[in-house]
Amino acid sequence: MKESIRPSAFSALGIAGALVIWQVLAAANVAGNALPSATTVFATLATILGTGTFWSALGATLGIAMLALAIAALAGVVLGLLIGSFESVRYATLAVLEFLKPVPPIVILPLAVLVLGPTAEMALFLVVFGCLLPIVMQTVDGVQGTDPVARDTARSYGMGEGEILARVVLPSAMPYIGTAMRVAAPAALVVTVVAGLLGGGPGLGQSIYQAQAAGDYASLYGLVIVLGVLGLLFQGATRLAERRVLHWHESYREVVP
Amino acid sequence: MRNVAVRNWVIGAGTPVLLLAAWWFLSANSADPFFPPLETILIRFQELWLFDHFQSDVLLSLGNLFLGFAIAAVAGVVLGFVTALVPPARWMIDPLIHFLRGIPPVALVPIFISLIGFGTQMRVTSIALAALFPTMIATVDGIRSVSNDLMDVARVYRLSRKERVLNVLLPAAMPQIFSGLQVSLQVAFIVMIASEMLGSSQGIGAMTLLAQQSFMTADMWAGILLLGVIGFLVNILFSLLKRKVLSWYIGSRRMARAA
């Protein structure tokens, strides 16, 4: 009993300690008015949470991130199945994919802003660009990793190519796709914020930019705290969804004693 | 069999060449202000980066990137060891770390701008702090997954604490540390660009965004091209380093799989 209480006691101590340090540093005026005190920030945050602009910005951020994630997932899985199923397509796309993989969406942000303007479409495009490739590559790996015996068994049962793809290859690629989605979901949120912050797209990123440009530091800190909480929620939600969808897979099966 | 291999090789090498050729010819006489001819882009690329702005902007950006990444790497590994080996420290900072990790790294840049200003210091600090977490978390995971047998053997041989940390734990956690470092490097690259795009006038990111805002499209394309190539090359170099440092691990894995 005592053992299990100690970690959470230390956690509470850590959080309280950080807040106290923050408060003391702000009170000591180390950074002038650029570092508002913790109490000011949380009071400002409470006011922000009561405004309609905050909730519409939050809605825009979540809407863009999730819509783009859905588009990227659908397109990524289809492309991945295609690339993974045909050797010639795989070789044709290998070099291009390997080059684009380490290029983050922020690199093409100026181009997206130039062509699409500071709009939701621009943000959507960037998020899809950022999430698509990892999903494609993981799906290809999943298709490649399909057990050949399962494939042959399906064939000898007289399944057509389409049925094998839907009933054997896709389910066996599912854990790979799940991993890709778990990485892509927080990334979608990050890219949406970047598109708002640097590209002027709608959402919380834009709110942060405005707070910084206006020198409204308490709102700036408050919004960043909101983003931290949002990031945690996104990570938790994807983990939960992955567990739900993949409950049949051996790495998720619960052992019944 | 050999024919198939040759064919695949030709397809693999041919497609990028074909794509580049298509870009060259389709854009050759383009009057579209957004998509200038590739030739114009390459000419501007040469004029801008080789070597007019090389020292003032390219080297500056790369210097910030590597300095920030180096700080993050060292601090991440050290902090990872401390948190993994001292349980009270872990309990204390675990919730804070998870919260900070949830914040998009780029969103921290405005805070550092308000605290430190627009200078190089702010950029290096932003890069270092944002890139710290992936390495630190991977280090903690790596140490936790070191097998108990290994630690028991180290204890039986009466290795000192220092020997256990440096000669047993560090090598055993190395593969995971390097995976974390690779993620950190990508984050560092993103934050490098973001820190330059937010109200700075120097660096590749700043020049690319300024070119876009003043509708110098060819310059913007040249910047995007350079950033893409840097992102690709940095990743390749790191992969080579990783393969070299972890050659013992890759070899042992291969042996285990063959057995």
Three-class DSSP labels, B218-250: HHHHHHHHHHHHHHHHHHHHHHHHHHHHCHHHH
- Residues of chain A with Cβ-Cβ distance to B13 below 8 Å are 95
So what's the pLDDT on residue A256?
56
| Whether the predicted pLDDT of A251 surpasses 70 | no
Using the Cβ of A236 and the Cβ atoms of chain B, whether some distance falls under 8 Å is answered with no
Over range B47-73, report the average pLDDT: 85
Q: Residue ranges per domain, chain B?
A: 53-258
Q: Are B173 and B139 in contact (CB under 8 A)?
A: yes
The residue extents of the domains of chain A are 36-245
ipTM exceeding 0.85? no
How much is the average pLDDT of A14-18? 84
Scan for tokens 């470092």, then name that residue.
Answer: B181
Q: Which residues have C-beta within 8 Å of that of residue B248, sequence separation ≥ 6?
A: none
pLDDT of residue A3: 55
Q: Which two tokens stand for residue B61?
A: 């950006």
Residues 6+ apart with CB under 8 A from B4: none
Exposure of A22 by Cβ count < 10 A (0-12 exposed, 13-18 middle, 19+ buried)? middle
CB of A115 less than 8 A from some CB of B:
yes
Q: Chain B residues with CB inside 8 Å of A221's CB?
A: 111
CB contact under 8 A, B186 and A224: no
Q: For chain A, how far is it from start to end, CA to CA, in angstroms?
A: 24
Q: Superfamily assignment of B53-258 in CATH? A: MetI-like (1.10.3720.10)
Q: What is the pLDDT of residue A90?
A: 85
Do the chains contact at B220 and A6, CB–CB below 8 Å? no
**B130 touching A (Cβ < 8 Å):** no
Residues 6+ apart with CB under 8 A from B199: B113, B118
**Mean pLDDT to the nearest integer, A184-204:** 88
Q: Can you give the pLDDT at residue B78?
A: 92
CATH superfamily, domain at A36-245:
MetI-like (1.10.3720.10)
d(CA A248, CA B44): 55
pLDDT in tens, B209-237: 888 888 888 888 888 888 888 888 998 89
Beta-carbon contacts of B142 under 8 Å, excluding residues fewer than 6 positions away, are B80, B172, B173, B174, B175, B176, B177, B180
* pLDDT surpassing 70 at residue A1: no
Angstroms from A154 CA to nearest CA on chain B: 26
Amino acid in position B108: L
Instruction: Write down the pLDDT at residue B1.
Output: 54
Q: Over the stretch A83-92, which tens digit does the pLDDT of each residue have?
A: 888 888 888 8
Please check the confidence at residue B258 and state whether its pLDDT lies above 90: no
Mean residue pLDDT of chain B comes to: 84
